[in-house]
Structures are given as C-alpha cells and as structure tokens.
Structure 1
Amino acid sequence: MKTLVRRKGGGGGGRGGSGRGSSSHGSSSSGAAKSHGASSTFYKSSYAQPFHISYANTDVGAYGDGKGKKFTLGPSTPFPGRLAGSGTRSQIYGTSRYGSGYPYGATGSYISGRPFPFIFYPIAITEYDYYGSTEYRNVSATSRPGGQVVEAVVQPLNDTSGVTYRIVGDDSSVTAVYAALATNCSIANPTITNTTVAPFNPGTYPQPEQVIQWYRASSFALSLDSYNNSAALFSNMPLSSNQSALPLSSDTPLPAGQNSTFLKCLNTTIAASVPLRSVEGLSGNAIAYLVICSLAAPLVLIVVGWAIYRRIWILRHRNDPTAVPPPVGVLTALGECMAARKERRRQARLTLNDGFSHKQPTMRTNDTVVTLLQWVRGRKERVRRKYRPVRNAESSREPSPAPLVRNSI
C-alpha cells in the first residue's frame, strides 16, 4: 500500500454538530483553528478549545502548531526521565506501520523506551506485545494525556453500509478530530452524541492490520474495517527491536472501489486538526497589562528609593536641630527641585557677569557696542590678572649672585 500523502483541501463540506466537548483550559486555542483555515462552525465550537496536559504544563488543541522545547518527564509520570515535546505539525504523518512518524528517538523497530515528541503516548493497538507496546496498555485515563483511549466510527454520508473507517486515540483528540471531520468532510452522523465515541478495547476493531495511516508518533490512527494489511500482522512482526520490519512495499493495497476524495479528506483533516501544543500569541489585554506594568515599575522604584533615601537622611541628621528633612512626597521634592532650578536660570539671565545686565536702560546702538567692548576689555584684564599676575619691582628684580669667597691656602 502506498503511504497517504499530504494534500491541501479535502472533500465536500459537511454539517457541524454540537455536543460534548473536550475539557478546556485557557481561552484562545480557537484562534489557531481559525488561522489555519478551519471552518467557522468548528473554531466557534467548544471542540476548538484547548485542554491541559499537566505533566507537560502546557495546553494542546486542535490545529495547534506544536513546536516548543524538549523537556524531561518528571518522577510523577509513568515514564520518568524520557524526553518529550518539540514535535511540529509538519511532522505529524507516519505511515501504515506502527512506530512510524517519530521526529527523533526512533531507535530500533520497537517503540518501547522511545520519547514522546508530540507529548501524547502511543496507543496499545492490540492485546499482544505488538512492537513493544505493552508498557502503554495499562496507562490509566488520568495519567494518559487527553484521557482514555477511545474510538469513533466515521462513514461517508452516501455509503453507510459498505464502508467503515475508524479513528482511534485519546478521548479529547478523537472528539476534536471528529468535530473537524464533521465540518470538512461529508460524513454520516455529524452530530456528536454520547454514543459517538466509545472506549477502545485492544483485540477488537481496529486491529493493527486494518490501520491505513498512523499520526503523531503512533498516538492516533485511521483504520478501515475492510482492509487487511498482511505486512502489519502480529505474525510478521520482527522478533526483536534490532531486526527490521518488512518494507512498505510489502503492504497490501487498499480494497478496490474506495472513494479516494473522501479518504483524502479524512487524511488531510486529521493531519491538520489532531491536537498538538498550542503556542498562542499574547492577547490585546495581555499586551496592555505588560505595557502598564513596564511603565509603573520605574515609578514604584523611584517612590521606594526616595523613601529609603529620606529615611537615611533623617538618621544621619537626627542630632542636628536646624536640619530640614526632605519632603515626604516624591512629587513635592521634584517640584521644589524644579522651582530652584528655574530660579537659578532666571538669576543667570538677569545678570551675565560683574553687573552687566541685559536689563540696562535702553541705549543707542553705538552706546551698546561701546559698552560691550568695555566689558570685553575688562573681562580680558580680569583673566590676565588672575592667571598672569604682574610682578612689582621688588618681586621682578633678579636676586644678586652670592659673592665669591676665595679659599685661603
């Protein structure tokens, strides 16, 4: 069988229904669905809302981009010490084989001990130890991201008797994907009810050989009841992880007469909508809050700093009865400083230097020039006296040389 490939678009539009939705934490995952082309019926519904994965401390939702940094699982998780995260939407596809589609950590053909690049745990698709899946079979619903493993039947609207597809995954993911299929593809029973999603029992439909496409590192699957891929049978599984599985060229072709348009719609819609980590931008309220905090923080520091300075000043001058402490309010102190500065500048404008003022009585142009020249000459004289003092006659006279004294022999 050939691996299904990514394709834009899909089948005919269907009718969206409302019913029970996945648990939601946060308020803006529907923005991811809207920006990625989901129908308005879907992104306005509760199924577009994110749900929280506590062990990863993150929200995941339909049409999320994934991404994020890798992290190590803590001791309270079923698989402590393993890596998780950083898987993206572009890496969502696997193949028809269990254990496919790992962006990293796919060592050997068995999946036991592997990381969780998309945060979700793989599905134990059968009651046998199929490719090392036993360790994921007994994970409780409260410990598994998205809840217990469930399945939902998906059938085309015009053929409900001869064609039966199934989607298998965690409860929250299956519900969200089914709602997306109801709005994108012409499926029968588009309204989600209490019987739409049922718990999955390993050993019943679907079996590994009925899966036609794995997604999200074997944590979500699309199967066809009438398909029997002999290459995926338990009997054809390699005996150990060091041995290679049969090549994809050994896959059994899909049954003849399938509606390829409907199948492609299922494939592309699942790949686009299966929940991943939601990395949302900041909302308008969050941006406004950050701006206000960034502006208020310096003011708070100034007020606190002024209070500390005033307290230190009072302690240092507590024995001086004439000392006037700084004002309590920062604004009062700032106002006094500005008033003092304004007064100094006013005084400087009134008197330029040595009594010369621009407020002298009105003079003619020639008188003004003469006065300026006199002021300049006086200024030069003062500078000369300051830096080149004139020596008087006594100080300028050279000292007389000492008389020569003849040594007596």
Structure 2
Amino acid sequence: MFLPFISRRSSKRPNKRAGGGGGGRGGGSSGSSSSSKGSSSSSGKGSSSSSGSALSGNKGSTASTSSTIYGSSRSITPYGNGAAKVITIPSGQLFSGRTAGGATRSQVFGTRTYGSGYPSISGRGVANRGFPFFFWPLVWGGAAGGTASYLHDENEYGLPDNSSRPGGILMTAAFQSNSTSSIFRILSDNTTISELITDIHANCSSHLTSNSASSPSSAISYNSSASDAPKPEQVVQYFRASTVSLTLDGYNNTAVFDSEGTADIPLPSGIDTTLLECMNSTIGVAVPLVDAGSIRWGTPSYGVIGLVWIVMFFMNLS
C-alpha cells in the first residue's frame, strides 16, 4: 500500500483572497466544551484501489497570514504544527468560556462522520463543543429533521456567509479528474480554501482537468441550495475537527441520515483513487493551522494518531 508524502516546500507566498463576506447571523452562545459520547461510524470499503505516486514534490507555500481570532492576533500557517496550548476564550468574544487550541498536525484527520476529528471527543454532531484548531466547524445549511437534524443547525455557528467565522465565510472549490468523471470538492473558510487550492493544484495538477480550481479566485461562496454544492452525504473525509471537508460528486452515503453507528456506504467503483489519495494527503499535511508560524514541515510527521488515520483511509480504498 502506497503512503504518499511531501518533501520540503518552497517559501514563495501565493496571492491570497481576503477573508470575510456577507454578514449572516452569527453564532456566539457561551458555554463549555462538550464531550458527547458515542462512536463515529466506520468508513465503508470502496472497491477501487490505486497505485503510484500521488504527490509531486516541492510546491506550495509555508507563508503565514495573520488574523485576529478570539481577540488576539494569531498566525495561520500551512504545513504548521498547530497550537498545543489550550486557551479559554475571554469574556466579550463569541463563544466566551469555551476552549480553543490544544490540537496539532497529527490530529487533523477525522472520518466521514460530521463531528469527527475532535481530540478526546467521540460521537457525531458539533453542538456546544470547543475549538481544538481555533476554527469553527462547517455548517451545511438547509433544513432537515429527525436523525439528520445534527447536520443542519445554523443557530449556533451562524449561516455559511457569517463573516465572524475565523478565516472568513464558507467557500468551496471543485477539482475534476482528467482520467475519470470524478469531481471532488473542498469546503471550508475562505482563508483555508484559498491556501488549499494553491497546494492541491501544485501537487495534483497532473491528475486534473484544465477547468479545475487552480488559484484562490476559482473559489465560490458556499450556497447549500445550489445544484452543484457539496453535500454532507458526499463527504469522503473531514479534517481539522470537521472544519474542512472533501466530497465526491455522486457519492451518496445515506449513513449520515440514519441512526448513529450505521456503517458508511462504500465509495463507488471507477473513481480516480490516485487523485483522491493526492488531495487527501495534501490537505492532511497542508491545511492551515493556527499559531504555527515558526514551524516548517518538510517530510510530514503525522505522529502515531495521524498515521493510523492515513493507513485506515487507504485500506478502505482497497
């Protein structure tokens, strides 16, 4: 089984789009981090496998940007290690009293379950939780009841265009395989999406069509009612405490709508697993983390926890 990696990166800084956007209603309830119980659903096995190198080497950026998060100026750094120190969000800030920080690069991988990737917290959903990577979890928009209500609650973290969100409003970008009909999409805040487009294009361009996202200007605002918007049932992988998702058009993981613990639907056959490996690995090592400005990553050091998630992910593709 091939485990792709990235060697030392260039320090050239790409152009970035500014964060922010429309002012949807913001979250901001106080409270403490929740430790809801339960287990994340397991990933189903797909029938496709891949071989060969997924990443192409010395490309991308390790340059930090600065942003005011929870009242303090903090660096946001691709390939950084994260912030091991836990803080309590001070009075006067959104979500005051909750915790932020404490998670590092080795913990960025979640599963296909919304709410996965929170260190020491299991169970699906993101209500009343802290922010181990400082960023807020995704909100899927729309409305649903019953067992799917945990996916669509916008009251706590606001609408997708809530400009109070660290990193800016939710944005999305599409990447199409040049060997199959597979279309993958990423969804996250504006700062994160702008960085990941640059890194994915740099590392995976040999697997992409020319109409795939190639620069931050390729990103579009997330609109849950758009016909081509990423959907929770299309998620292949969550990252960074469910603040980033990688989706596959046409994938219909109905387990997200069933009772917790239902096994995930396997990925469809015939997808471009080489591109999937490349994107998944690139996001894992490159997704920007807060307060890691002094750290540069060459060959990625996932740590034991991160390595376990990578092994499990690629075993599920075989």
State yes or no: 1:91 paired with 2:107. Answer: yes
Query: Aligned to 1:130, which of 137, 147, 150?
Result: 150
CA contact (8 A) 1:53 1:60 kept: no
User: Over the residues paired in the alignment, what is the CA RMSD in angstroms?
Assistant: 2.9
State the Cα distance separating 1:157 from its structure 2 match.
Answer: 3.4
Query: Aligned to 2:80, which of 54, 64, 67?
Result: 64
Residues 1:85 and 1:22: Cα distance change in structure 2 (over 3 Å):
farther
TM-score, normalised on structure 1?
0.54
Letter in 2 for 1:121: W
State the Cα distance separating 1:217 from its structure 2 match.
Answer: 0.6
CA offsets, 1:80-116, max 9 Å, x none? 1100101111000000010011013x36543210010
Name the structure 1 match of 2:274: 261
State yes or no: 1:151 paired with 2:142. Answer: no
Q: How many Å separate the matches in 2 of 1:153 and 1:131?
A: 22
The structure, 1 or 2, with the larger RCO (C-alpha pairs under 8 Å, 6+ apart) is 2
CA contact (8 A) 1:94 1:100 kept: yes
State the aligned residue count: 242
Instruction: Give matches, 1:4-403, under 5 Å.
Output: 7-9=3-5, 20-23=15-18, 40-43=58-61, 48-55=63-70, 56-104=72-120, 106=121, 109-128=124-143, 129-131=149-151, 133-134=153-154, 135-138=156-159, 141-159=162-180, 162-186=181-205, 187-188=208-209, 189=212, 191-192=214-215, 194=217, 196-204=218-226, 205-233=229-257, 236=258, 238=259, 245-247=260-262, 250-281=263-294
State the Cα distance separating 1:206 from its structure 2 match.
Answer: 1.4
Unaligned ranges ≥5, structure 2: 7-11, 20-54, 144-148, 296-318
TM-score, normalised on structure 2?
0.68
Q: How many Å separate the matches in 1 of 2:129 and 2:84?
A: 19
CA contact (8 A) 2:79 2:288 kept: yes
Identity fraction in percent: 32
Name the structure 1 match of 2:25: none
Residues 1:208 and 1:147: Cα distance change in structure 2 (over 3 Å):
same
Residues 1:38 and 1:219: Cα distance change in structure 2 (over 3 Å):
farther
CA offsets, 1:189-212, max 9 Å, x none? 453163x10111234421111111
CA contact (8 A) 2:91 2:97 kept: yes
Unaligned ranges ≥5, structure 1: 11-16, 25-36, 239-244, 283-409
CA contact (8 A) 1:215 1:271 kept: yes
CA contact (8 A) 2:5 2:281 kept: yes
Q: Indicate the structure with greater strand content.
A: 2
